[in-house]
Amino acid sequence: MNSLKNCPAPAKLNLFLHVNGRRADGYHLLQTVFQLIDHGDTLHFDLRDDDRIRRVTDLAGVPEESDLIIRAARLLQAEVLRRQGALPRGVDIAIDKVLPMGGGLGGGSSDAATTLMALNYLWQAGLSKEELMALGLPLGADIPFFIFGETAFAEGVGEAMRPVRAPDCWYVVIEPGVAVPTAAIFCSEHLTRDTPVVIITDFSSHLEKQNGFKGFGKNDLQQVATKLFPPVAEAIEWLGAYGDARMTGSGACVFCAVATEEEADAVLAKVPTKWKAWKAKALDRHPIIAKL
Q: How far apart are CA 271 and CA 277, in angstroms?
A: 7
Give the residue numbers marked as catalytic: 12, 142
Question: At 139, is the secondary structure helix, strand, or coil?
Answer: helix
**How far apart are alpha carbons 221 and 244 in whole angstroms?**
16
Distances (CA, A) of 116 to 33, 103, 147, 157: 23, 22, 8, 21
Q: How far apart are CA 42 and CA 35, in angstroms?
A: 18
The DSSP element (H or E) to which 11 belongs, if any, is strand 3-22
Q: Are the C-beta atoms of residues 273 and 133 closer than 8 Å to each other?
A: no
Length of the chain: 292
The dihedral formed by the CA atoms of 53, 55, 56 and 59, expressed in degrees to the nearest 10: -170
